[in-house]
Amino acid sequence: MRQFMVIAVVGLLLAGCASESEKPERDEPKTASSAVATEAVESPAEETEAVDTSDPVMVDEIDCAGEFYSTVEEAWAEKQEDCDATLSGTETSDTEAKALQVAYSGEGDLDSLGVLYGICAQSGSGSWSYLEQAGSEEQLSEVRGALLLCPDHPDKNKVAKLVGRASTRNKLEADGRVFGDGVYRVGSEVKPGTYYTTDVDGCYWERTDATGEVIDNNFVPAAKRVQVTIMATDHSFHSESCGRWQPIKA
């Protein structure tokens, strides 16, 4: 009898343990941090609007000897000859950067770009007169840069020809084959050859030997064209009020 009761008690204990192990686990309560994290994952990402911070260069005003314009086209219509532009902004366009590179080897600033826009605005009859008889390489570079800013300039073809001729004259001058008034040593400062000048008034020239003796000379009160041949045996050539001498054959 006692043995049977022991067995019954053990059976009840085993059944109780089994029932405890079969109970479902209770969900752990969510902490505040886990709730925030879940909300952060589930909430859509905020969209940020892009802000345009560019500041392109703008032409504020073009001053042509006291006459003011907003665009180069307005100045063209009035045939202005001496202009300068006032600009604002900091970011140059690709074309403007190229114009500065051509005109100033990329070293120009906003004021330099204003000079180019001013040249671009000019179209009067006297705008390009300096290119007909002169025009330094620096001036020619400025004109080339300015034309990049206004490819539709009404004088584009005319200016391109004048720039080409002036560039040729500059090369000839560097080579001693284009020269003005002064005394030049033949061979080193001027080259032998036949030269001409035009529209003279009171022109005097002379060729001399190594002792300073005059080989040949002439005084021309006025003429549309004067011509002289400098020989390789001449020592020097002297010119006064004759303008710019150019070679017969470049």
Run means of pLDDT, 10 residues per run, the chain, 250 residues: 44 46 48 44 54 84 95 95 94 95 91 96 91 86 95 94 91 90 95 95 97 96 96 97 88
Specify the amino acid at residue 34. Answer: S
Sequence-separated (6 or more) residues with CB below 8 Å from residue 92:
56, 57, 100, 113
What is the rounded distance in angstroms from the CA atom of residue 125 to the CA atom of residue 118? 16
What pLDDT does residue 132 have? 84
Q: What is the dihedral of CA 222, 228, 234, 238, to 10 degrees?
A: 30
Report pTM.
Answer: 0.64
Q: Tell me the two tokens of residue 114.
A: 């204003």
What pLDDT does residue 49 have? 65
What pLDDT does residue 31 have? 46
CB 228 within 8 A of CB 205: yes
What pLDDT does residue 114 have? 96
What pLDDT does residue 6 have? 43
Domains of the chain, each with CATH number or no CATH: 58-174 (no CATH), 182-247 (2.60.40)
CB 85 within 8 A of CB 61: yes
Q: Tell me the two tokens of residue 107.
A: 């070293």
Q: Tell me the two tokens of residue 69.
A: 């314009």
Radius of gyration of the chain (CA): 44
Q: What is the dihedral of CA 165, 170, 173, 179, to 10 degrees?
A: 70
Strand partners, 201: 222
